[in-house]
Amino acid sequence: MFDILINFGVVGRAFTNKICDIELYNPRDFTTNNYKKVDDKPFGGGAGMIMKPDILENTLISAIEQLKNKGVINPLKIYLSPKGEKINQNLINKLSLEKGLIFVCGRYEGIDERFIENNVDIELSIGDFVVSGGELPTMIIIDAIVRQLPNVLNSEDSVIADSFMNGLLDYPHYTTPREYKGKNIPNVLLSGNHKQIELWRLQMSLWHTYKRRPDLLEQRKLTDLESRLLQEMIEQNKK
């Protein structure tokens, strides 16, 4: 499953260029039974199967050992779970400062609670919905972390202007053709006046955030300039 992360696009190149590294562990390789069984029925009955704590722990010990050999001591151990803290850019920024991370991916109905209690530092969710395994959530988080590591994106593709990096949504982007299906690009973008363009982009970021994600503005103190730019848009759109 992880081929798509490791082999494609800018994030794939970061792995090829050894800016980051990934080791994959299959709990089946750490079973002691002939059937390589990693799950069992839930105590108390009910639907689905539960991943066994002993097998997960053997897998984890091996991953910790491997990281130790690479000089990473005490890696943060993350369990992907719909019950976890919802991931956001702030958390991604914090995780990107860690030297090593271990992601535990659940399957089936989930994993034995005792493994979580004994071993997991933080539970993270990608949103209020359920997918069938922790692998895709893990890949989403790794992608978000890796794309902002130094030397992964060109300076042209800088992450600094991305949505959420400054607590606002991104401004709208345009490319050729200048006119498309009767719609022209905003004149300011053709002005060559970089100061004006910067102000327009900031104003659009503020306006899009105000309209789509007012909760983000509640968490962010606006400067006098930002308040003025946003107020201008609110007034214009009243007319």
DSSP 111: B
The reply to whether 107 sits near ligand SAM by the rule CB under 6 A is yes
The reply to whether 213 sits near ligand SAM by the rule CB under 6 A is no
Give phi and psi for 25, each to the nearest 5. Answer: -125, 130
The reply to whether 119 sits near ligand SAM by the rule CB under 6 A is no
The stretch among 55-63, 103-111, 183-191, 229-237 that binds ligand SAM (CB under 6 A) is 103-111
Among 82, 93, 122, 222, binds ligand SAM (CB under 6 A): 82
The reply to whether 80 sits near ligand SAM by the rule CB under 6 A is yes
**What's the token pair of residue 107?**
């399957």
Told to judge if 147 belongs to the known catalytic residues of this protein, a careful annotator would answer yes
**What's the token pair of residue 152?**
């992964």
Strand partners, 78: 103, 122
Q: Give me the catalytic one of 57, 107, 109, 226.
A: 109
Told to judge if 162 belongs to the known catalytic residues of this protein, a careful annotator would answer yes
**Which residues inside 141-200 make contact with ligand SAM, applying CB under 6 A?**
none
Told to judge if 179 belongs to the known catalytic residues of this protein, a careful annotator would answer no
Closer of 64 and 80 to ligand SAM (Cβ) = 80
The stretch among 7-15, 20-28, 121-129, 196-204 that binds ligand SAM (CB under 6 A) is 121-129
The candidate with the shortest Cα–Cα distance to 112, out of 57, 74, 61, is 57
The reply to whether 78 sits near ligand SAM by the rule CB under 6 A is no
Between helices 9-16 and 135-146, what is the axis angle to 10°? Answer: 80
Residue of closest CB approach to ligand SAM: 106
DSSP 193: -
Task: Tell me how many degrees the CA angle 134-135-138 measures, rounded to the nearest 5.
Answer: 85
Strand partners, 103: 78
Distance, in Å, from the CA atom of 92 to the CA atom of 94, rounded to the nearest integer, reads 5
Q: Which residues bind ligand SAM (CB under 6 A)?
A: 80-83, 105-107, 109-111, 125-127, 129-134, 137
Which residues have a catalytic role annotated?
82, 109, 147, 162
